[in-house]
Structure 1
Amino acid sequence: METQIIEGQKGGSKKPHNPYEQPDNLLSTAKLKMLIALSEGEIEGSLTAQNIFIDKTPLANPDGTYNFKGVHWEFRNGSQTQDYIQGMPEVSNELKANFAVKTDMPWVRSFSNLELDAVRIKLNLPSHVSYRDNGDMVGTTTHYTIDLSVDGSAFETVLNGKFDGKTTSAYQRDHRIDLPNAIQGWTIRVRRITPDSKSSKLVNAFGVSSYAEVIDNKLRYPNTALLYVELDASEFNGSVPLVTCKLKGKVVQVPDNYDPVSRTYFGEWNGTFKMAYTNNPAWIAHYLMRDEIAGMGTRIESSMIDKWAIYQLGQYCDQMVSDGKGGKEPRFTCNEYIQSQRDAYAVLKDLVASFRGITFWGNDQIYLTSDMPQDEPDFIYHPSNVIGDIVYAGGSYKNRYTSCLVAYSNPDNHYCDDVETVWDNDLMRRYDVNVMKLTAIGCTSQSEAQRRGRWALLSNVKDGVVTFSVGLDGYIPLPARIIGIADPSRSGKENGGRIHEVNGRKITLDRPVDYDVGDRLVINLPDGTAQSRTIKSISKDKRTVTVTANYKVHPVAGAVWCIDSDNVAIQYYRVTSISAKENQQFTITAVQHDPEKFKYIDNGVRLEPKPITVTPSSTISAPKNIVISESSYVSQGLSVASLEVNWDKVDGAINYIAQWRKDKCTWINIGQTNGTSFTVNGIYSGVYDVRVRAVNAVETSSPWAYSEATAIKGKIGKPEKPVNFTASEDVIFGIDLSWSFPKGSGDTSYTEIQYSTNENEENALLLSNVPYPSYSHSQMGLSIGQVFFYRARLVDKIGNTSDWTDWVRGISNTNTNDLTDHIFNEIKETDAWNSLVDSIDNVVNNSIDNAKAIIENALANDIESKQRRIENSKLSAEIKETNAVLLSEKEATSIALKELHSKYGNVSSDLSELRQTTAEQNSATSKSIDSLTAKVGNVSSDLSQFKQVTTNQNSATAQAIQSINTKVGDVSTSISDVSKTVNNLDGKVSAQRSIKVKVDSKGQQYAAGMSIGVENTDKGMQSNVIFLQDRFSIMNTADGNPQTIFTTQGNQVIISNTVIGNGTITDAKIKDASITSAKISNVIQSDNFQDGKSGWQLSRNDGKLKAVDVDISGRLKATSGEMNNVVINENCQVRGKLTAEQIVGDIAKIIYFFTGSSITIEPEPFNRIISTPTVVVYANSGSVEQFSSYAIYNGNDFTSSDGKVIKKNSHLFVVGTKAPEYASSFGSSSWFFRLPANTTLQLKSRGYGQYPTAVNLFITKE
C-alpha cells in the first residue's frame, strides 16, 4: 500500500476596518447675558472682577486673569445720571418653550404685543450624528425654516437654516426675527424640512428651547444699582450659573459730623445729615424708618423719631472691642441683603435686634433702645411710692439656657451660614446642658456672633420678674428703661424713703440710715429722672447726709430716695410693660437686669454681682405673737365679717408663708407675703387656727409658729340658698335656669347646679358652677321634650355651702310652631337650602363671557385663534376655536374655547365648550363648561354642564352643575342638578347635592326638589335632607298592589300604620274620636308629668293612672284605693261598713268633755244641734243631807238661734239631786241645744258632790 502525505497551510483574510469618529464641529456660540438689579438706590463704591463670583468661583484671579472665556461685565452704582449698559441695548422677556419640532408638528406662536421689535428664537440640538454601517460616526445635515405671518396673512419664509456637522453634546443657536409693522400682531412658525429620523443610526432631532420678546430700548434704570454679565453659554452646558458679588451697600443718611470709615464723631452734632455708606445698624434702622420707597417714610415723619437717642445708639455700636484674634472691630455691624418684601415693622424689629435693641410705639413717637450699660437707673421705686406689695417671681428652669448655637454669615465661606457655639461652664454646672438657637441677623463676624451668644445666655438666666402698682409715677418710665428698686424686705435693712428737707447739698431724710460715707444717695428729681451722688458725710442722728456735688436739678421735699452701696446694692430691673388701671393707677412689670454682664459679653471678664441683701444666716427664727382678731366692713350696705391676723417681724426674713383653718379642718394656704399680716373676708362663726413661718433671702424657712385657737363670731349659720330657682319649658333644644340671690350673699363665690332624670339625689350630676353674680345658666343640645330635674345651692368664697333648693322640673320646648319655625330658620342658613332655592341660570354664560373678556384684554401673551364661517342671506355656520396662554405678574391662565353656531332664519343651534386653568401664587382653578342650545322662534331648549375645582392654601372647593331647560311661549320647564363640596382650614366644611325641577306657567311657578348636605355650623356638624314639594309619598308594592305608607299633602302628614318608640304629641286630631287598636310598650304620659305635682301618667305594667286632677262626669267603679281631700257635693250611699277616724265639718261629731274643763266649738256655715246622753248625779247622806249637781255654761257671749243674746257664764244645762239624812238619791237629765251657723261657742262644765268625770257631746248638722 502506497503511503499518501497530507499537508495544510494558513488561510488568508482582509485587514479589518477601525471605526472612525468625526470630531464635533457644531459648537454652541450662544451667549449668556444677565442683567442683575443689585439694589434699589445708590450704593457705595464699585466692583472689581475679583469680587464677582460665578458659581462661587471668582470671575478673575488676583493677577487679573479671567477664569472664564468670553467674559464681559459692566457695573452701575445706581446713581440718578448713570449710563445705560452697552451690552443690553434692548429689553427682552425670555419664555420657555421646550418644544420638539417635527416634520408634521411645527412650532407656532402668536404675538399680539404691538410694541415688540423682534422675537429671538433659541433652537436646541441635543445631538447631531449619523452612524454608518461600518461603524463610523460622522456629521449630517438637517434643514429648517422660520416663517412669519403678519395680521393673519399667509406665512412667508424669512429664514432658511440648517444644522450641518456633528455634535454629541447640546448645541444651541439663536435667530432674531425682526418684526414689521402690524395692526393685529404676528405669528411665527418654525418648520422642519428634513424628514424625521426613523432609525437609531441617524440622530438629528431638534426643538425650540425658548423664545424672547424683544423691545429695542437703551434703558438706564436710574437709582438702581446694576451688574451686567455676559458669558459663553458653552461653559455651563446651557444652564444658568449662580452669580454673586461682594460689594458695599446703600448710601444712607448719617450725621454730618460722622466719619463712617474711621467710625469717629467730631465735635457736637447739630442734627443735620449727609449721605454716606455705613454698616452701623443704628443708622440703617434710621434709614428704614425714613425711606419712602423701601421703608416706612410714608407713615413716619421726622418729628416722630428721636434722632438724638439714635445718635447715642450709633456711637455705642461703633465702639471698638476685641475681635478675639488680637485685633479690634466695631461692637455691632449690619451687613444684610434684603431680597424680598416683608412687613416693614417686622423688618425693623429684626434689624434692631442686631444691636440688642427693641422698638415700640408710644406717645405718638417710635422709640429705639438697646440693652447697653448705663451708670444709674432711670427712676427708682421704694415701698413709699408703691401701692401694695412688690411681688417677685422667677422664670422656668427650661428657659435658663447654658449653651447657644449662633448662625451667622461667614465671609470666608461666601457668606453662607455657619454656626458658632457659645457656652458657659458655670451655667452648665448648675443647670446642665440646655441649648438655644439664635440667628444673628446682619452678622458677618465670628467674634460678634460670640458676643451675641454670651448676651443671650446671660440675659435669659437673669429671668426674675417683679410686678407692683404705682400712682401717677407710672407715667414716667417707658418700656426698656432701667429702674432701681430699694425693697427693705429683700435687702434686710432700711434703704429708702422720702426726703424730709433739702438745704443745698444737705439732704434730710425721713428716717435714720445705716450706711457709710462713700455710698451713693439716689434721688428721683423733679424732671422725672433719677440721679446719684456720693455721700460725703452723715449726721450723728443718721438722718442728714451731705453729698459731694449738686444734683443736676434741685431735689424737692417728698421725693423718693434710696442708698446704693457696694455692700447692699439696689436691684436693677428693665421695664417690660406698663398697664393702666382705674383711679390713676398703673401696674409695672419688669425683668431682672444685670449691669455687670457687659464686661463679660465684650471682653470675657466676669464680675461677681453686687449683693442686694444682708447675708442671712443658715437658720431663721419663727414668727412670734401671732394674734387673731375679728373685724368687719360694709359691702353693698351689708356688714361682712373678716379674720385679721398679725405677727411680729422676724429679723432677716424677706417673706412669710401663712395658713389658716376653721374648726380643725384642712389648712388653707395664704401663700407668700412680705408683710406681717393678712385678712380673710367673709368668715363664718367657728374656732380658727393660724400658723406662720419666715423665709430669708436664701430661701431658708423657719419652723411653723402657731397661734392660739380663737373663737370668732363671724357669720352665723351657713349661706342662704338661692331663691326663685326656676327651669324653663319654652327653650328650643334646651332648658334655661334662673334664680335670685338672697340678702347678704355678697360673699358668694359661685352657684352649684346639679341635674338628674328624676328627683333622686343619688342620680344627681354636676351641671355647672356658675360664677357669682351670674344668675342664669342654659343647658343646650337637648332633644325635643327632654325632661330634667334641677337643684342649686350657693358656695361662698371660703367654701361654705347653703342648703339645696327643692328640685325643679324643666323640659325643652315641645311647641310645634316654635320648633318648625326654629328649624326652618336654621335650614335657610344651610348650603343645602341655598342650593335648592338659588338660581343657576347665568353660571355658564357668565363664565364663557368672562373667558372671552380675559382673552380680549390680554396683552403680550400667546393667543391662537381659528375661525371658519360661511353664510348667505338666510343661513350661516361658524366654528371658532381660541387657544390662549396668558401670563401676568400675579397669575398664569390657559384657555381653550370652542364655539359652533348654525342659523337658518329664526332657527338657531349653538354649542360651546370651554376649558380653563388658572394658577396664582397661592391658588389654582380648573374649569370645564359644555353648553348646547336649540331655538326655533319662541321655542327653545338648552342643556349645560359646569364643572369647577378651586384650591388655595386655606381651602378647597369642587362644584358640578347640570341644567336642562325648555321653553314654549310663556311656559318654561327646567331640571337642575347641583353638587358642591367645600373644605376650609377655618372650619367651614360642607358637602351637598340638590336636584330641582321647576315649571313656570304664565308667571306662576311650581317647583319640587330635594337637597342633601352635611356642613359644619356654629352648633357643630349638621346633616340635612330637605324636600321641596306639594305632595310627598312613600309607596309599597311588595304584593303587587301599590299602597301609600306615608304621605304629606300641603302642610299635613298622613300615616297609614306606624310604630312610635318615643314621641311627643302637642296637638292631635284622632278620626271618630276613637283608637281601635293601640300598643303601649311602657307608659304614656303628659309632657309635664311630675309625680304628685303636675300632669298625668298611665302605666302599661300595672295599669296605674297617676294624675294631679281627674274630672269624671260618668260612672266610676273602683274595688280598692285611697282618696285624699275629696269633696262629695251630692248624695253618697255607703252600703257597706264606714269607718272614719274623724269627720270634719260637724256633720257628725263626738266630743269627750271633761268636767271642770272648757272646749271651743269652731264656727261652721250651717246650723248644728248639740246634745248629750242622760247625765246622772248621785247623793249619799249621813246625819246631814247631801246635794250633787252637774252644769254646762257658756264661756262667751253668743246669739241663740231664736236671736236671743246669751251672756257669758249663763247656764245652758243643769242636773242635780238632794239626799235626806241617812238616805241616797240620784238625778238624771239630757241636753238638747241648737247652735246657729257661723257661731263660735265656748263651753265650760263644773260638778258638785258625786258627778260624772266626763260626758259625750254629740254635734250634728241640723
Structure 2
Amino acid sequence: MTRTITTQNIDRLRLTFGTQALVRVTNEGDRLDAAVQLAVQVQRNGQWVTEKDVTISGKRSNSPFLTAVTLNNLPPRPFSVRLVRVSPDSHSDKLQNSTFWSSYSEITDIAQTYPGSAVVGLTFDSAQFGNQFPRRNYRVKGRIIQVPANYDPHTRQYQGLWDGRFKPAWSDNPAWVLYDLLTHPRYGMGHRLGVSEVDKFALYMIGQYCDQTVPDGFGGQEPRMRCNAYLTDLRKAYDIVSELCAMMRTMPVWDGRRMTFIQDRPADVVWPYTNANVVGGTFGYTFSALKARHSVVEVRFIDPDNGWKTSVEPVSDDAMVARTGRNVLRVDAFGCTSRGQAHRHGLWILTTEKLETQCVEFAVGAEGLRHMPGDIIEIADNDYVDAPVGGRLVAVDEKTRRVTLDRAVEKPPKGQVTLTLMDNAGQPVRLTVTGYPAPTVLEVDGLPKGIRPQGVWALSLPSLRRRLFRAISISDNGDGTFTVSAVQHVPEKEAIVDNGARFDPKPETSLGNLIPPAEHLAVEVTADSEQWQVEATWDTPYAVRGIRFALKLTQGGRIVGTTTTPDSHYRFGGLPQGAYTLTVTPQNTRGQRGEPSAVDFAINPPPAPTHIEIEPGYFSLGVRPMTGGKSVLRPQYEFWFSLQAIADIDAVTRQAQYLGTGPLWVVQGPHIKPNRTFYFYVRSVNVVGKSAFVEASGSPRDDAAGILEVIKDDIVTSEAWDALSGQVNSNTSGIIETALANNADMQRWRKENGERKAEILEVRTTLIDETQAFAEKLEQVSVKLGENEAAIETKATTVFNQNGDGKAIHSVKAGITHNDEYHSVGMAIGAEVKDGQVKTQVLFEADRLALLNRANGQVTVPFAVQNGQTFINEAFINYAGITLAKVGAWYSANYVPGQSGTIMRNDGSFELNGRQQGGRMAINSDSISVYDSGGNLKVRLGKLN
C-alpha cells in the first residue's frame, strides 16, 4: 500500500495501521498468540528505504488492534511512503493475522502559548484503558484575581485602611470573585461595566464579612463564606451574578450611577418613620403566604468527603414541620465545598422565611432621600401596635431634659423605655426615659444639641420589639414624594444562622458506620393520563456522605418497580388503582444497608367521613370531618350548606349551596344566627374520586354575654368606633395647620376675653391623588372658661383608595371637661369596606340612651339604657331566646281562670288548663289538684283540706 505526500509545510508524518484479528489455533484447538511483521518504507532519491520495522504480537481474536508510527526525518516533497507486509499471508483459518492501513496524519509543529488557560498533557498506553480515553479529574486551584492591596488572602487579614488599590493574588473570597467576574474583559462583564461602575467599597465590607470565622459544626472554625467553582458553560450574566450574591446573602442594586450591593446583615438604624412623617399617616403591609414558608431545605453542594461529588445537606425546622408538615425546598449552593457553609445557607433560608414575613410600603416627602436602598429604617406605626409609639415633638426644654410630645403616652408597669430623636446631624439618637411628668411630657437622661420642635420621635417599649426594615427600593412619584419599599429585618437572625451548624464528629474509619434510616416517608398521588403517578418523599435524622436509597414498590407481593437514587424523593408513574407498599432502604457506597422503612397506601376513591364535628362559635360554625384509618392520599373534603335538612341525599348538589374544598371549613356571616339549626353535607375527595355525602347539623353559640362581647370586639376595630371614641380635638391651631397644608376651605369665628373663649370652626377638605379620593367636612363649636371646657364636633368623612377599601362615616360628639375630668357623648353612622368585607353600623356612646314619648301632656319613657342596663316598659316579642329570666308573674294569651290557658303567680301557685271542656290542674305550695270538665275535683295530692 503506497501513499504520496505533497504537502510542503509539514514536520512529521504519523501512520496508523493494525490487524483485524491476531490468533493462532493448534490442531488440538488451543488458541495461542500470533505475530505479524511489517515494514514502513519511504522513497528517497528514487530508492525505497525502510524507516521502521514493526512487529505486532499477542492474542486478539475478537477486536481490531491499531498502532501508530511517526516519521520525523522526511525527504523533500513530494515523496511516497508505503507499508510492506514482511510476514507471508495466511492461507489457513488456523492463523488469523490480516493487516490494514487505517490512515495517516500530516503533523505541523506550532509553539502555542494557550493564553488564559491551564494546559495539561498526558501520555499513556491505550492498552491499559481498553483502547479508550480514560476519565481524568483535576483539582483546580483557580484564577489569580484582583484583591485589595491591604489584604492577605492566606491569613484573610486586612491591614490598616484601604486606599482603593488592588493587587493580583489567589483568593476564594466570594466578594472578590464577584468583582473579578464583573470587571474582567475576557470572561466577565468588563467590556460592559467599567471599574468605576462597580461599588468596590461595598464589596470591601462584604468581603470582610465573608472572611469572619464562624463554627464549622465539628468544633472548629471556618470562614463564613468561600467560593470554589468553575464555569465551563456559557450562561447569562444575571444568573451568575445572582448565584454569587445569593451565597453571600447579598442583592445587587443599580443605584443610578453604579452597581452596589445590599447584604443581609445587622446594621444601625439610619432613619425612623412614624405616622407623623409619611404621606397620609399610613403604612401598607403585605405578608408572605404560609405555604411559601418552607420547613425543610435540601442543599446540594460539592463534598470533599464524598470524593468531590455532590452531597445533599438537609436542614429542617422541626417545630415548623410539626405545625405545617414537610414543605421542602431544594437548592444548589453555588461554589460551596463546605458542609457547614451549606448548612448555614439552608438555615438562612428557613430563618428568613420564618422570622421576616412582612413587607412595608409608604410614601414620604424629602425625607425619602435621607437613606439609600439597603439601609435599615425603623417603623413606629401607632395603628399597627395599637399604642402611641411615634409622632412629632411639640416642645423641647434642654435645661430640664424634658420633651413634650404631640400625644399622650402611658408609663409601662415595668421595664426600660427608649426614646429615639433626630440630632442636628440628622442621625437617630436613642435616649433612656427617666420620668413621666405629664401624659405628654417625657424626661430623658440627656438631650443632645440640635433637638428641635416638630422633629420626629419614636418610642421603644419593653413589651414591644423594635420594628426594623431594610429599604429595598425608593421610587420618585414625580410630585415631590417618594415611595419606599422595605422588607422586615431581624438582627438576631445572624447569630441563629452562624451558630446553627452542629454535626456529629467525623468517623475514624469508613467501615461499619451507622446508616441512618429513612424517616417521615410519605407519598402523594397525582393523575397521569388514565393512570396515576406516585411521588415519594422522605428525610433522614442526620446526613451521611455517599448514602443512596433503594426503593421497591410492590402490589400484592408482586414487585411493580425498583430504583436507586441519592435524592430524598422519587416519582413512580403509570400505576393503576390498587393497594401498594413502598419500601425505602438506605445503603452506602460499599453496599451495606440500613433499616428499611415502608408505607402502605391505596390508589382508590376515598372512604366517606366516619365522623363530623360541628364546632359552634359566635355567628359561625366550624365543620371538621374525620376519616377512620390511615390515608396517605391526604383526602380533602367537599362542603355543602343548607338551611333545611335534605331528605334525598342524591339531591344535595341541586338543593344545597357549595362552600368549597379543604380539610375543614368555617361558615360565618349575617345568615348564621343564634338559636337556629343549620345543615352540612360533606364528602371526601381525592385525585381518584369522591365518596358519598354524610350529613351533620349544628347551631351557633347563643349565650347573650358572649355574643355582646364579640359584637364589642368587632365594634372597637372599626373606623366608626375610631371616629366616635376619641375626645373632641381642642387643638384648633393644629386643625387649621393641617387644613392649610391640604388646601382646604376654612372659616373661623372666635372671641376671647381673658379666660373666656368661644369659637366656631368649619373646615371642608377634598383631596385626590394617585392612590385615593378623599372628602371631609368638619364643624366644631367650643367654649372655654378657666379649666372648664365644652365642645361639639360634627364630622362627615368619605374616602376610597385604589385597593378597594373605603368608608363613609358621619359622627357627632359632645364633651365637657369639668374638674379635670372629661365626659363625652356621641353617635356615629358608618359604612366601610376593607379587604372585601363590608360593615355598616350605628353606634351610640352615652351614660343614658332613652326614647321619650309625649302624649296628653305627659312625658313617658317606654325604653331606656342606663349604666349598662336596658329598661323596657312594654314589649311585644315574636321570638325570644333568654338564658335567664326574672319574672314576677306570667300567663298565656288565652288564659281564663278555671277554663283555659296557663298562669304562674309570684306566690308560687301554678294553673294548667287543657283544651276547652277538657279539665284543668292547679298547683300551689302544698297540693296538686285535678278537676274534670265540669269543675269537679277528681284528684288531690299533698294537703287534702
Q: Please report the TM-score for the alignment, with normalisation by the length of structure 1.
A: 0.38
- Report deviation, 1:414: 2.4
Measured after TM superposition, the shift of residue 691 of structure 1 is 4.6
CA offsets per residue over residues 780-828 of structure 1, 9 Å max, x none? xxxxxxxxxxxxxxxxxxxxxxxxxxxxxxxxxxxxxxxxxxxxxxxxx
Find 1:560's aligned residue among 452, 456, 474.
456
**Aligned counterpart for 2:266 among listed residues 355, 373, 396:** 373
- Structure 2 equivalent of residue 520 of structure 1: 418
Counterpart of 2:329, as a letter, is M
- Kept in 2, the 8 Å contact 1:405–1:419? The answer is yes
Question: How far does the alpha carbon of each residue in 1:218-264 deviate from its partner, in whole angstroms, 9 at most, with x for none?
Answer: 55556644444333433222222222233533333333333333323
Q: What letter corresponds to residue 378 of structure 1 in structure 2?
A: V
| Residues 556 and 161 of structure 1, relative CA distance in 2, 3 Å threshold | farther
User: Map of 1:600-611 to 2, 5 A cutoff?
Assistant: 600-604=496-500
1:622 aligned partner, one-letter code: I
CA displacement at 1:409 relative to structure 2:
0.6
Q: What is the rounded CA distance, in whole Å, between the counterparts of 2:243 and 2:774 in structure 1?
A: 56
In the alignment, structure 1 residue 472 sits paired with structure 2 residue 400: no
| Partner in structure 2 of residue 707 of structure 1 | 842
C-alpha displacement of 1:440 = 0.6
1:620 aligns with 2:713: yes
Q: Equivalences for 1:66-85 in 2 at 5 Å?
A: none
Q: Which is greater in Rg?
A: 1
- 1:268 is aligned to 161
Is the 1:378–1:482 Cα contact (8 Å) retained in structure 2? yes
Where in structure 2 are the equivalents of 1:599-998 lying within 5 Å?
599-604=495-500, 620-623=713-716, 691=831, 706-707=841-842
Which of residues 294, 305, 308 in structure 2 aligns to 1:415?
Answer: 308
Alpha-carbon contact 2:806-2:832 (below 8 Å) kept: no
Relative to structure 1, is the Cα distance of residues 158 and 599 closer, same or farther in structure 2, using a 3 angstrom cutoff? same
| Conserved? CA contact 1:502–1:557, under 8 Å | yes
- Contact 1:599-1:605 within 8 A present in 2 as well: no
**CA distance in structure 2 between the partners assigned to 1:385 and 1:111 by the alignment:** 88
Give me the whole-angstrom Cα distance separating, in 1, the residues matched to 2:494 and 2:386. Answer: 28
TM-aligned CA deviation for residue 487 of structure 1: 1.0
Instruction: Tell me the SS of whatever aligns to 1:575.
Output: strand
1:599 alignment partner AA = A
How much is the aligned-residue C-alpha RMSD, in angstroms?
4.9
Select 1:582's aligned residue among 473, 478, 482.
478
What residue identity is the alignment partner of 1:485?
Answer: I
- Decide which of 71, 80, 101 is 1:177's aligned counterpart: 71
The alignment status of 1:393 with 2:283, answered yes or no, reads: no
Aligned to 1:492: 386
Give the aligned residue type for 2:713: I
Summarize the Cα distance change of 1:134–1:359 in structure 2 as closer, same or farther, 3 Å threshold: same
**1:254–1:274 contact (8 Å) kept in structure 2:** yes
User: Are 1:127 and 1:203, in contact at CA under 8 Å, matched by a contact in 2?
Assistant: yes
> 2:311 corresponds to which letter in structure 1?
D
Q: CA deviation at 1:366?
A: 1.0
**Within the alignment, does 1:458 sit opposite 2:351 as a pair?**
yes
CA distance in 2, matches of 1:599, 1:378: 22
The range that moved more, 513-522 or 247-256, is: 513-522
Q: Which aligned pairs between 1:1239-1258 and structure 2 lie closer than 5 A?
A: none
Partner Cα distance (1:676, 1:521) in 2: 36
Q: CA deviation at 1:555?
A: 5.3
SS at match of 1:312: helix
Change in Cα spacing, 1:154 to 1:315, as seen in structure 2 (3 Å) is same
What amino acid is aligned across from residue 519 of structure 1 in structure 2?
V
CA contact (8 A) 2:809 2:829 kept: no
Which amino acid letter does the alignment assign opposite residue 567 of structure 1?
S
Work out whether 1:280 is the aligned partner of 2:173: yes
Q: Distance in 1 between matches of 2:252 and 2:768?
A: 45
Q: Equivalents in 2 of 1:500, 1:314: separation in Å?
A: 45
| CA distance in structure 2 between the aligned counterparts of 1:670 and 1:276, rounded to whole angstroms | 56
Report if aligned partners of 1:693, 1:704 keep a CA contact under 8 Å in 2: yes
Measured against aligned partners, the alpha-carbon deviations of 1:994-1050 in whole angstroms (never above 9, x if no partner) come to: xxxxxxxxxxxxxxxxxxxxxxxxxxxxxxxxxxxxxxxxxxxxxxxxxxxxxxxxx
Offset at residue 274 of structure 1 (A) = 3.3
| Structure-2 separation of matches of 1:147 and 1:645 | 115
After superposition, the Cα gap between the structure-2 partners of 1:673 and 1:306, relative to the gap in structure 1 and judged at 3 Å, is same
Structure 2 residue runs of 5 or longer lacking an equivalent are: 503-708, 725-762, 780-796, 812-827, 845-945
- Give distance in 2, aligned partners of 1:469 and 1:382: 11
| SS across alignment from 2:124 | strand
In 2, Cα distance between the equivalents of 1:564 and 1:394? 23
- 1:603 and 1:411 map into 2 onto residues whose CA distance is 22
Q: What one-letter code is carried by the residue in structure 2 that aligns with 1:373?
A: P
Partner of 1:591: 487
Contact 1:467 1:590 in 2 (8 A): yes
The within-5 A match list for 1:339-378 is: 339-374=232-267, 376-378=268-270
Give the aligned partner of residue 218 of structure 2. Answer: 325
Call closer, same or farther: CA 1:176–1:397 in 2, change over 3 Å: same
How far, CA to CA, are the matches of 1:311 and 1:597 in structure 2? 22
1:182-209 Cα offsets, whole Å, 9 max, x none, are 88x9997768787987875443355567
* Counterparts of 1:641 and 1:526, CA distance in 2: 36
Q: Taking structure 1 as reference, are residues 364 and 632 closer, same or farther at Cα in structure 2, changes over 3 Å only?
A: closer
Does the residue aligned with 1:363 lie in a helix, a strand or coil?
A: coil
1:408 CA displacement: 0.6
2:273 aligned partner, one-letter code: Y
Partner of 2:229: 336
Q: Residue deviations 1:143-196, cap 9 Å, x none?
A: 65667799xx9998875654443332775432113485888x999776878798
SS state of the match for residue 176, structure 2? helix
Q: Distance in 2 between matches of 1:708 and 1:460?
A: 42
Query: For residues 17 and 451 of structure 2, what CA distance do their matches in structure 1 show?
Result: 87
Distance 1:127 1:704, change over 3 A: same
SS at match of 2:384: helix
Query: Residues of 2 paired with 1:409 and 1:496: CA distance?
Result: 50
Q: 1:384 is matched with which residue: 276, 285, 296?
A: 276
**Alpha-carbon contact 1:572-1:593 (below 8 Å) kept:** yes
Residues 136 and 355 (structure 1 numbering): CA distance in 2 closer, same or farther, change over 3 Å?
A: same
Pairing of 1:1107-1256 with structure 2 (within 5 A): none
Alpha-carbon shift at residue 351 of structure 1 (Å): 1.2
> 1:406–1:421: 8 Å Cα contact kept in structure 2?
yes
One-letter code aligned to 1:346: D
1:1081-1092 equivalent positions in 2, closer than 5 A:
none
CA distance in structure 1 between the partners assigned to 2:345 and 2:179 by the alignment: 22
Q: Does 1:442 align with 2:335?
A: yes
In the alignment, the residues of structure 2 paired with residue 634 and residue 351 of structure 1 have an alpha-carbon distance, to the nearest angstrom, of 47
Q: 1:633 to 1:355 in 2, by over 3 A?
A: closer
Following superposition, the deviation at residue 670 of structure 1 comes to 10
Aligned-pair CA distance for 1:407: 0.2
CA contact 1:322–1:328 (8 Å) conserved in 2: yes
Distance 1:416 1:180, change over 3 A: same
CA contact (8 A) 2:16 2:104 kept: yes
The CA deviation at 1:526 is 6.9
Closer, same or farther: CA 577–205 of 1 in aligned 2, 3 Å:
farther
From 425, 431, 445, the equivalent of 1:534 is 431
Alpha-carbon distance change, 525 to 194 in structure 1, aligned in 2, over 3 angstroms: farther
1:89-100 to 2 correspondence within 5 Å?
none
Cα distance per residue 1:1204-1224 (max 9 Å; x no partner): xxxxxxxxxxxxxxxxxxxxx
2:377 is matched by which residue type in structure 1? I
- 1:508 shift after superposition: 5.0
TM-score, normalization by structure 2: 0.50
Unaligned runs of 5+ in 1: 1-102, 607-616, 647-658, 661-667, 680-687, 710-1262
Q: Secondary structure at the match of 2:458?
A: strand
The code of the aligned residue for 2:232 comes to: Q
Deviations 1:860-890 (Å, cap 9, x if unpaired)?
A: xxxxxxxxxxxxxxxxxxxxxxxxxxxxxxx
Q: Cα–Cα, structure 1 residues 281 and 163, in superposed 2: closer, same or farther, change >3 Å? A: same
The 5 A counterparts of 1:58-73 are: none
SS at match of 2:715: coil
User: For 2:423 and 2:248, how far apart are their aligned partners in 1?
Assistant: 30
